[in-house]
Amino acid sequence: MFVDQAKIYIKAGDGGDGCVSFHREKYVAAGGPDGGDGGKGGDIVFVADDNLSNLIDFRYKRKYVAEKGKDGSGKNCTGRNAPDVVIKVPRGTVIREISSGRILADISGDEPVIVCKGGKGGKGNQHFATSTRQIPRFAKPGFRGDEYEVQLELKLIADVGLVGFPSVGKSSLISVVSAAKPKIAAYHFTTLTPVLGVVRIDEEQSFVMADIPGLIEGASEGVGLGHEFLRHVERCRLIVHIVDVSGSEGRDPIEDFKIINRELENFSADLAGAPQIVAANKCDLAEEEQIKRFREFVEGRGLEMFEISAATTQGTRELVLRVYEELQKLPPVKQFEAQPLTKEELDEKLFARKEFTVTIEDGIYYVEADWLWDVLRSCNMEDYSSLQYFQRVLRSTGVIDKLEEMGIEEGGTVDIFGFQFDFVE
């Protein structure tokens, strides 16, 4: 089974929490705070693996979560950083965030790519000692790691893409010019998956050709197989458009040419503008008038046409040499650039981490926010300096302003994750 799309959930590890600890040693009075920092959470790393040809493994495992960094400990010991989670994908896989549609990475090179960064470790209480606060009984929690629900899309990396209607001879051509062995038969949609073949000009000169399953009218809208595989032509530097010039299927070759190019344009404007060479196949079955008529049409559009017969290899060598010559003038295979968050999206993401809700039930003000749990568990509520730190967090994030807006009065009860306290202005 050829699988070229998959949805998975990825989550980098959270940072370890800072430690609240004080130095204890015989004959050393008031040793002071020595709580260490938390370790960094594990990253989610993607790497290209040329031994993989599709995304079928992601049909069975859809969730990848890295470990949390180890918490800090006493004696100023920093927690251990968590190991990264390395995910191997076929070369050419594009990773796209589902919610926004933006591209996170294109795994086309040899370098590993970090898609989700692990959270930094929290600071231990050694960092919060001052001349007036010599016994800090609180530390910072670790930062949360990135998390995304992503779509993996395999876009094959090939220099040349063969396009055309079913049964025009694409599979036959790639089988005679390369070592690829696609299925060849006298019926439509023989090729159900893209086929890659390396076309060698000589010992040190070659290029990669992709046989894309047959397109039909409406392919860009999901008709036939074309919608599934048009994405694999997107990276191609050059398109070889194969047309049955003999009309053996009862179709007009000129109309075939127009339909396929229209489908390419409907799918992608960039794809429609890609350089194109036309291969008029089955010339051994065509009449001279048919070939002449089609050549005038193609050359009238400013394109080159080669007369070939894939079945007898007539003209295939000349076509391959011309394709290689044209490739030398073209830029490298297209890579998709990662799309960073805009300033508005960054601000929205930052704000989302500080979202909270306040509800009133039986006279008690319940504050709910995931991020407050990290703050709450890092504080010692029996210590005055910890309570001051907790109050500053509530004030800076707008929680206290919201409580006052909702009419809380002096002595009113506030509940945060079961921890209740009286409101004091």
246 with 165, same domain? yes
In angstroms, the Cα distances linking 241 to 1, 138, 160, 181, 270 are: 27, 69, 10, 20, 16
Domain of residue 416 covers 354-422
Instruction: State the pLDDT at residue 323.
Output: 93
Instruction: State the pLDDT at residue 267.
Output: 78
261 with 364, same domain? no
Please check the confidence at residue 189 and state whether its pLDDT lies above 80: no
Q: Which residue has the higher pLDDT, 410 or 351?
A: 410
What is the pLDDT averaged over residues 254-279? Answer: 86
How does pLDDT run across 328-386, given as a tens digit for each residue? Answer: 998 888 788 887 766 666 555 555 567 788 888 888 889 888 778 777 777 777 777 77
Give the integer Cα–Cα distance in Å for 374 and 18: 11
138 with 217, same domain? no
Report the SS3 class of residue 271: helix
Query: Considering 154, 170, 204, which residue would you say is the last residue of a domain?
Result: 154
Helix (H) or strand (E) holding 254: helix 253-267
Give the integer Cα–Cα distance in Å for 405 and 389: 22
34 with 109, same domain? yes
Report the SS3 class of residue 265: helix
Give the integer Cα–Cα distance in Å for 74 and 144: 23
How does pLDDT run across 13-35, given as a tens digit for each residue? Answer: 999 999 988 888 887 777 789 99
275 with 149, same domain? no
The residues facing 309 across adjacent strands are 314
8 with 150, same domain? yes
Please check the confidence at residue 83 and state whether its pLDDT lies above 50: yes
How does pLDDT run across 301-317, given as a tens digit for each residue? Answer: 999 999 999 889 899 99
Please check the confidence at residue 225 and state whether its pLDDT lies above 60: no
Query: Considering 154, 175, 202, which residue would you say is the last residue of a domain?
Result: 154
Q: Which residue has the higher pLDDT, 387 or 191?
A: 387
Instruction: State the pLDDT at residue 191.
Output: 46
Number of domains in the chain: 3
- Residues of the chain with pLDDT > 70: what percent? 88
Please check the confidence at residue 402 and state whether its pLDDT lies above 60: yes
Domain assignment present for 211: yes
In angstroms, the Cα distances linking 16 to 51, 65, 67, 145 are: 36, 15, 10, 11
| E-assigned strand segments in 63-111 | 63-65, 85-89, 93-97, 103-107
Instruction: State the pLDDT at residue 105.
Output: 93
Please check the confidence at residue 54 and state whether its pLDDT lies above 90: no
For 143, the token pair is: 């930062």
Say if residues 186 and 157 touch (Cβ distance below 8 Å): no
Burial class (CB in 10 A: 0-12, 13-18, 19+), 310: buried
Query: Considering 105, 122, 154, which residue would you say is the last residue of a domain?
Result: 154
